Structure 1
Amino acid sequence: MMLRRCLTGLVLALLPLAAAPAYAEVCATDDADREVCLPAPAKRIAALSPGATELVYAAGAGDKVVAVVAYSDYPPEAKQVPSVGSHTRMDLETLVSLAPDLVIGWVTGNPAEQLETLEALGMPVFYIEPRTVEGVAGAIERLARLAGSEAAGDAEAARFRDGMAELAERHAKAALVSVFYQVWDEPLMTVNDEHLIGQVVSLCGGVNVFGDLSRLVPRIDDESVLAADPEAIIAGGMGEENRHWLTHWEQYPSLTAVARDNLFFVPPSLIQRPTPRLLEGSRILCEKLETARARR
């Protein structure tokens, strides 16, 4: 309660700084199915996940970003923006002091109580969590609308849609490849077909061996992978050049993926963030599955 009172006082003190000239109201519906309206296009944006940061820049509003969180490393200029903690725990006092007039929250990644506190202080919070290719494109367009950068945002959304559509068409008749995608190592985790990564696997002509599981990101074990015997194993690892998750599977030479040397790495920032760079990650994943087909 004391923190909220202090933050409220800080917000009131900063209101003159956040004041903007009169414009037409701008509105967009977020991924929590809430209509968010601003009295004018946002001029000071806080992006509370690395993916949100990328999406705001993709929407042509990077120059308006005044706050990010840890690991917001793309585009490179985002690393120069003040960080207000991690996506799981923000420093609200620092965030409020930066006087954002729009906060981009992560539906399932940010602490709900912290986002609710920001809303109680009168800050508009726009929730995002794209779960489809169209969801990524739509998020770019909606953020561009709220930031007044529609021309740039709409162009980037169209580029992304067209690129993904071309990739899907190219692999529509490709021979199917059974795939295990490893999203984490301890505990061992994968994705189902509803997950955006699972959708990319399908787009590339892959069959996710754990696609039918009910959880979006299910926990599994080595025995489950051995029983499924995928033709290819794809992992992202914890870093852009880190392949060590794949070496774990080399202890199982009977696995088809190991026997055929179909252990593939895709940089996680290209495939595990719902941003336009998913197009680049999808191209790499599709290339890996083409390699697997050639090794039959």
Structure 2
Amino acid sequence: MKKIIPLILILIILLAGCVEQKEAKLKIVDQAGREVEIPAKVERIVSLWPEATRVLFALGVEDKVVGLDSYSKTCPILTRAFPEIKNITDVGSPLRGTLSVEKLAQLKPDIIFMRTDDPELADKLQESLGVPV
């Protein structure tokens, strides 16, 4: 009996380690007042807003940016400051009505940044892609 109890405890500890870990997420309230759940670890980013693009590149996370809006791709200030922008996929523009949801889906982003003046579009993208916007 004395040998069985420690064996059972070890077995319980080993099995507890086999439980599937959920990916850590953070709940935030965005500038539009929407509650959004975002992953704690982000590897793939799409920016649909030049201001967000500037901030992402200034923070040095340009290697995680996989898609940009059309204006970020052609903005003279951004393209001069960050020439590597030309190598990032253009997903169109929500302001010009050229946003390609198909391209967004192909890029498999972990998060999408966009302006706060169109929360309906943010909700629609979040629902259709399953990605926080």
Q: Which residue of 2 aligns with 1:252?
A: none
Q: Which residue of 2 aligns with 1:105?
A: 114
CA contact (8 A) 1:22 1:39 kept: no
Q: Which residue of 1 aligns with 2:131?
A: 123
Distance in structure 2 (CA, Å) of the matches to 1:112 and 1:51:
17
Distance in structure 2 (CA, Å) of the matches to 1:123 and 1:101:
6
Q: Which residue of 2 aligns with 1:26?
A: 26
Q: Which residue of 1 aligns with 2:40?
A: 40
- Distance of aligned partners of 1:28 and 1:106 in 2 relative to their CA distance in 1, 3 Å threshold: same
Distance in structure 2 (CA, Å) of the matches to 1:49 and 1:39:
20
Q: TM-score normalised to the size of structure 1? A: 0.31
Higher relative contact order, chain-length normalized (CA < 8 Å, sep 6+): 2
CA contact (8 A) 1:46 1:65 kept: yes
Query: What are the equivalent positions in structure 2 for 1:244-255 lying under 5 Å apart?
Result: none
Residues 23-73 of structure 1, C-alpha deviation per residue, up to 9 Å, x if partnerless?
Answer: 543344321133433243111111001111111222332111111011214
The root-mean-square deviation of aligned C-alpha atoms, in Å, is 2.3
One-letter amino acid of the structure 1 residue matched with residue 60 of structure 2 = G
Distance in structure 1 (CA, Å) of the matches to 2:58 and 2:116:
19
Q: Percent identity?
A: 37
Q: Which residue of 2 aligns with 1:129?
A: none
Q: Which residue of 2 aligns with 1:68?
A: 68
Count of equivalent residues: 103
Distance in structure 2 (CA, Å) of the matches to 1:114 and 1:35:
15
- Distance of aligned partners of 1:95 and 1:32 in 2 relative to their CA distance in 1, 3 Å threshold: same
User: Gapped runs of 5+ residues in structure 2?
Assistant: 1-20
User: Gapped runs of 5+ residues in structure 1?
Assistant: 1-20, 126-296
Distance in structure 2 (CA, Å) of the matches to 1:58 and 1:35:
26
CA contact (8 A) 1:50 1:70 kept: no
Query: What are the equivalent positions in structure 2 for 1:200-279 lying under 5 Å apart?
Result: none
Q: Which residue of 2 aligns with 1:82?
A: 89
